[in-house]
Chains A and B, each alone.
Chain A
Amino acid sequence: MTLLVPLALLSLLTLPIIVVLHMMQSRRRRVEVPSLLLWRQIPLQATAHRRRRLRLTLLLFLHLLVALLIGVALAQPEITLPWTSARTWAIIIDTSTSMALVEGGSSRLERARQRAAVLIREMRGADQVVLIGAGPRPRLIDRGHVADSARLLGALNTLDIEGSGSDLVGAFTIAETLLFDQPGAEIFVLTDGALPPPNVSNIRFPIHIEVIGTEQPNRAVATLAARTDAAQAIHIYARLVNAGNRLFRGPVQLWLDDQLQLTEQVSMQPGAVLELSWTLPGPAQQVRLAFDGADGLPLDDTATVIVNNRRPIRVLLVADDSPALVRALQAMPDVVVTAVTPAAYVAEQSTTADVTILVQTLPARWPTGGVLVINPPAGSLLDVRGTTTAIPSITLTPAGETLLRDVNLSGIDWGAITVIEPPDWLTPLAFSGDHPLILRGRVERSEVAVWNVDLTDHPLTRRLAFPLLVARTIRSLAPPPLPAAVITGETLLYQADLRTTQLEITAPDGKRDVFDVQPALPVAITLTQTGLFRIREWADDQAIHEAHLPVNAGTLAEADPTPRMSNTTISPAVTLTQTKPIATPQPLWSWLIMMAIIILVVEWLYIQRRSVQEVR
């Protein structure tokens, strides 16, 4: 037993005070008699004062007991009893797609939730529960004690399927981290076992694996891909999986832009993977493949892909005359070029352009979005200090290697180039001698590339490398395209346009999320719902881009929901230095105060009874 406030034991000094008071009180109890006439006739020796001694009465005992209890309670004792050992459970719930499989009227996830709820309700005393979701990315859902049961149950109810794959090892890591100071803790894994057995050799805690679910058939669209060719024909590739022990026969439907294009009967042997391909006339933006798998997991019976998710690039060319550049730009697909003269250029025009190309001109401030400056003149934005003659050889910096890889710029007579003193934010990618030739940097909401070369009748424009350099530069200045589709639970790093201030994501069920976007910082988006998401970029109150992103549930790894594990308890492989569970100290002060109150009540009843008896 430990005392939190040992100084409070000084209050036990009341014990001798109570004894003294009792001695004083018990010395003479005052009793009224009809008359002292008779008492005075008692011989004197009989009434002589005898040695005073303490009478051990029940009241004295009760008073001492109450004072003792209160005194000890003030010291706030805590007792550690073996049976008061607090249990700590980490409950890891598999939230992979296969947990959505419906068996016997409820999904595996629902049954896992119910089992976790039972464990939460079993908490008592100082027990603690840590809830961990084991989806594609394990995460701590909540943790709490008995008092937090309602909150834990609430958190449990919000738990949903998080995507393909279950990172049990990551979940174990989280559990171990959180249970670091709880040597007696246990880990419960509630999973359907439709995943390879995790490596638990180094886990320091006992693991109880509870497999939820039985062997069930499942048919899934594991892969769907589509591309267009120059003739706008759409080539579609699909991979279907029949995980089960029965032959599957059924129709597969193919939709282009929500129009049913094809229905095809397929037959799949048990456990087989069926690969299909079609070529359909385009154009179309969206391809959807659907079939009725007649299983408990309809989520993976449908898949959608976007055929061409490249975002169009609006280029504003500010130049007097640059035919080579215009040709190179027009050769790029999805690029729309608008040309203006430097005299006609106004800064506001750049807000509608994704990339602004400034040839031999510099505005007063950098346009937002992508900016390509070619042969910059002297101005306030760049420190240009005259001209010099470049040497034919070109030196690439490590950063330049990425952009200019496989672009042959050797043997070009660069001629006269301006001498630029680059600011801190501008990084040279290529040098001609000591003078930067190509530079790249970001300032505020502008992604700036600088070509320190005059393209007028320049040998570069006649090289094959020129359109390649233009295309790579323009593409790098514009945001990257979205993938054709993502898997549920997959985290998408969305690189928005530099002008974007807010990102709006609308889920298939209509739920809308809005994220604030920092310039050049990608937004991490985890999409756990299957279907077609709409993503819209906002620059203040102006929508500058809109795209669609399909999220599919079917993967080869999740297609087979058959448990590959069984209920088991795995003892910790690593021997802990302290294997005995640490008992949680139980505060005793409340119990002591309660006992003192009960004793006071008993004392009151005792006094009442005695007074009643005396009256009788």
Chain B
Amino acid sequence: MWFATIFRRKSSTPPPLFDEAFLRRLERLSLQAQRTLRGTPIVGRYPGRQPMPATIFSDHRPYVPGDDLRYLDWNVYARQEQLLVRLGETEQDVAVSVILDTSRSMAMGEPDRLRLAIQLSGAIGYLALAHGDRVSVLAGDRPSPVFGPARGKMQAVELFTALREVTPTLRTDLVQAAYQIAQRSSRGGLVLFLSDLLTAMPMERLALILPAPRWQVMVLHILSKTETAPNLQGPLELVDSETGERMEVDLDAETLAAYRTAVQNWRSAITRQCATYGIRYAAIMTDWVLERQIIPFLRVRRFLT
């Protein structure tokens, strides 16, 4: 009966983020990182775009002092008396930075967006750690690292623990977070934004702060039905969950149709801006199931391979 839950006290213990089987299945995937990214060679699994001295031959270049003598092509030296170094493709890691929007708007809806964002952060962070990448997670009012940078699968537990302790804040300055990421790493990397984008985030500024090709920026736009199809009717006073601003509206079919049009326009504008500035964008609904709907969707949108 519906009223059986009236007096039931809500459980204070949040459910676990994932189960182990899901994590094992997740390890088969990897992040779709651009070859233009520069990471630490050898340690990662992503192919680097820069040829490096390697045993697997692809090209030669003249020897310069300091090169590892092990990669000198002694056969060429014997034939042509030129010191040439054997060049080849090496694998590298990628610095994966996850910026988690913890503003109050993320905590609204059923299920709330923040929970899904934390799950996605955990899944992507685990994926990166499992592939030897350096992972850092930023969250909070003025985003600060809640995890990392760290490398190795063994850090996954610490990652999940840190994510579980993330709580909603009044708002999150994503641009400031982008600045922090850019200042910490001059080499670049992959930056993943998990946000409802209800806080103004100009994509052109993001592109300037994290310019390609050193930086690969991904935006996971988490949408809830509370904004795409609000179940509201009649004369209302709407209160902004973050700013506390109020707005009086008389919601009828006409107004709601206008609102839905505005949402469509808003989403189209974001998609267009992201495309313009080379930012990979995907919109995810909160009522989607993580493994069966969101992960396959991210593979289709080439966030994951």
> B-contacting residues of A (Cβ < 8 Å)?
26-43, 46-50, 52, 55, 605, 608-609, 612, 614-616
- A35→B198 contact, CB < 8 A: yes
- B236→A28 contact, CB < 8 A: yes
CB of A40, distance to nearest CB on chain B (Å): 7
26 contacts between A and B (CB under 8 A): A26-B235, A28-B248, A29-B237, A30-B236, A30-B246, A33-B226, A33-B230, A33-B241, A34-B105, A34-B226, A34-B227, A35-B196, A35-B241, A37-B200, A38-B259, A39-B249, A39-B259, A42-B258, A46-B249, A46-B255, A47-B248, A48-B250, A605-B3, A612-B2, A612-B3, A615-B110
Measured CB to CB, the nearest residue on chain A to B224 is: A34
User: Which of the residues B5, B240, B258 comes within 8 Å of A33, measured between beta carbons?
Assistant: B240
Residues of A within 8 A of B196 (CB): 34-35
- A38→B266 contact, CB < 8 A: yes
CB of A252, distance to nearest CB on chain B (Å): 85
- B250→A608 contact, CB < 8 A: no
Residues of A within 8 A of B19 (CB): none
User: Which of the residues A35, A43, A47, A616 comes within 8 Å of B110, measured between beta carbons?
Assistant: A616
Query: Measured between alpha carbons, how far is A310 from B245 in the docked complex, in Å?
Result: 115
- B263→A34 contact, CB < 8 A: no
- A42→B110 contact, CB < 8 A: no
Main secondary structure of the interface of B (DSSP, over half): mixed
- B239→A32 contact, CB < 8 A: yes
Residues of B within 8 A of A37 (CB): 198, 200, 266
Question: Closest 7 interchain pairs by CB?
Answer: A34-B105, A35-B198, A28-B237, A41-B262, A36-B240, A46-B255, A46-B258
Query: Measured between alpha carbons, how far is A30 from B247 in the docked complex, in Å?
Result: 10
- B258→A43 contact, CB < 8 A: yes
Which of A27, A35, A614 is most buried by chain B, counting CB atoms within 10 A of its CB? Answer: A35
Residues of A within 8 A of B236 (CB): 28-31
Q: Is B66 part of the contact surface with A, judged by Cβ < 8 Å?
A: no
- B237→A31 contact, CB < 8 A: yes
- A36→B238 contact, CB < 8 A: yes
- A41→B266 contact, CB < 8 A: yes
Given contacts A29-B236, A34-B108, A36-B243, 10 further A-B contacts (CB under 8 A): A26-B235, A30-B236, A31-B239, A35-B242, A38-B198, A38-B227, A38-B266, A49-B250, A55-B234, A612-B6
Residues of A within 8 A of B249 (CB): 39, 42, 46-47
- B6→A608 contact, CB < 8 A: yes
- A31→B238 contact, CB < 8 A: yes
User: Which of the residues A30, A31, A47, A52 comes within 8 Å of B255, measured between beta carbons?
Assistant: A47
Residues of B within 8 A of A49 (CB): 248, 250
Which of A27, A46, A50, A608 is most buried by chain B, counting CB atoms within 10 A of its CB? Answer: A46
Q: Is B56 part of the contact surface with A, judged by Cβ < 8 Å?
A: no
Q: Is B265 part of the contact surface with A, judged by Cβ < 8 Å?
A: yes
User: Which of the residues B108, B224, B247 comes within 8 Å of A39, measured between beta carbons?
Assistant: B247
Query: Measured between alpha carbons, how far is A47 from B247 in the docked complex, in Å?
Result: 9
> A-contacting residues of B (Cβ < 8 Å)?
2-3, 5-6, 104-106, 108-110, 196, 198-200, 224, 226-227, 230-232, 234-243, 245-250, 254-255, 258-259, 262-263, 265-266
Residues of B within 8 A of A608 (CB): 3, 6
CB of A28, distance to nearest CB on chain B (Å): 4
Query: Measured between alpha carbons, how far is A174 from B259 in the docked complex, in Å?
Result: 86
Residues of A within 8 A of B245 (CB): 36
Residues of A within 8 A of B108 (CB): 32-34
- A27→B235 contact, CB < 8 A: yes
Residues of A within 8 A of B243 (CB): 36
Question: Given A34-B109, A46-B258, A49-B250, do A39 and B198 touch, yes or no (CB 8 Å)?
Answer: no
Query: Measured between alpha carbons, how far is A458 from B254 in the docked complex, in Å?
Result: 139
- B265→A33 contact, CB < 8 A: no
Residues of A within 8 A of B106 (CB): 34
- B242→A47 contact, CB < 8 A: no
Residues of A within 8 A of B266 (CB): 37-38, 41
- A30→B259 contact, CB < 8 A: no
- A42→B6 contact, CB < 8 A: no
Measured CB to CB, the nearest residue on chain A to B238 is: A33
- B240→A26 contact, CB < 8 A: no
Query: Measured between alpha carbons, how far is A210 from B239 in the docked complex, in Å?
Result: 81
User: Which of the residues B105, B109, B254 comes within 8 Å of A46, measured between beta carbons?
Assistant: B254
Residues of B within 8 A of A41 (CB): 262, 265-266
Residues of A within 8 A of B248 (CB): 28, 47, 49
Residues of B within 8 A of A48 (CB): 250
CB of A305, distance to nearest CB on chain B (Å): 84
- A29→B241 contact, CB < 8 A: no
Question: Given A38-B266, A41-B265, A46-B254, do A29 and B235 touch, yes or no (CB 8 Å)?
Answer: yes
Query: Measured between alpha carbons, how far is A27 from B224 in the docked complex, in Å?
Result: 27
Measured CB to CB, the nearest residue on chain B to A29 is: B236
- B234→A29 contact, CB < 8 A: yes
CB of A616, distance to nearest CB on chain B (Å): 6
- B241→A32 contact, CB < 8 A: yes
Measured CB to CB, the nearest residue on chain B to A33 is: B238
CB of B149, distance to nearest CB on chain A (Å): 31
Residues of B within 8 A of A42 (CB): 249, 255, 258-259, 262
Residues of B within 8 A of A33 (CB): 108, 226-227, 230, 238-241
CB of B92, distance to nearest CB on chain A (Å): 39
Residues of A within 8 A of B246 (CB): 30
